[in-house]
Amino acid sequence: MFQTVCFTNIADALPLWNSNDATVHGIAQSALWTKLWQQHVNSDCLVLTLYIDDNPALLLPLEVIKQKQQVIARFAGGSHANCNFPVLFPALANKIAPEHITALIACLKEARPDIVLLSLTRQMENWLGFSNPLLSLRHQLNPNPALTASLPDNFDSVLERSNASRKRKKHRQHSRRYDETGAWRIYTADTPEENIAAYDAFFTMKSQRFANQGIANSFAGDALTGFFRNLFAAAENDGARQYRLHVLEVADKPRAVIGCSYWQSPETTSVPVKRGLTVEFGAFADDELVTASPGDFLFYEAILTAINEGLDYFSFGIGEEKYKRDWCDIEQALYDSHIALTFGGRLSATANQLRSGLVYRIKTNRHLWPLVKKLRQKLR
């Protein structure tokens, strides 16, 4: 016996995250993320809910936007929602069947007949030992993978994956450079005031870099600033799924900042608990110390700290970059689903599928992609 419900009032759905046992979900599908996104960025959010035997089995938090004169539902967070995974309740996760997902789609259509397209992008196939039931829907590979470093007990084993001696040498050189400039430290923002100051420092650095590259600033706007400030400063952050900002400071000035989300598998599973973090964003100052690679320095120290804290994984999140490959030994494919809910949504779904397929073919072509990147840089 099952039931589907569409909660258009987020306040009614939030208690469900902790209603019976530990939940498994993507970083952008947490209760805190969903609540703050609606409060600061988009008031039009909803939660699709699947009940099995009168207990919640799956939650799907979404936001509704207008894009090219069409109303679309997507993961709350837009381009900031990466490595997505629905909220699953471990005790009932293995009972979720394709017909339940089809019923959820029908529930969305009935509750919001104005929505023409459901766009579920950058989804993980598996997360913390659980399979993604949303992939029973039609899906295709996302052009970008997620890259992760597994963390053994020995930091040297991680360094040996690529240019270990060079990494150690550069790290020592940059440390001496910081010593010559003034006192330096790496710290984790703790108080609300520290978190706000650290995020503002990140925003300044990132805005400058986007401007120098001629790229639109994806973090711009008071709404997004309010969202991220509150995400990291919120009292609801707990020990298992916590949002933290790590800062490299040299001569009393922030030189690099990374925003990380911490997670762990539920203790209710039969496999050992796994713990890790995902880097959601990062930036470094383009100043007199830029040649001392503050971003690389902070990643080096953050990975070392993660090992000392007993974490099992350090994920760099979505996106192909050489510096990520130098640390990572796990590549995770991500998937997109574009589901038309009306006849008018079919063209958009087809267009999105074709575009994703084209981008995937370009990015996976080792000859064509470097040329495209060079051309894009010249155009900027």
Give the fold, CATH level 3, of 152-311.
Answer: Aminopeptidase (3.40.630)
Q: Is the pLDDT of residue 319 over 70?
A: yes
**Residue range 36-51: mean pLDDT, rounded:** 97
Q: What is the pLDDT of residues 94-145, one digit of tens each?
A: 999 999 999 999 999 999 999 999 999 999 999 999 999 999 999 999 989 9
Residue 379's pLDDT is 57
Q: Where are the domains of the chain?
A: 2-141+335-379, 152-311
Q: Is the pLDDT of residue 272 over 50?
A: yes
Residue 67's pLDDT is 85
Question: Residue 240: which pLDDT band, with cuts at 50, 70 and 90?
Answer: very low
329 vs 366: CA distance, rounded Å:
19
Q: In the CATH scheme, what is the code of domain 2-141+335-379? A: 3.40.630
Average model confidence (pLDDT) across the chain: 89
User: What pTM did the predictor assign?
Assistant: 0.90
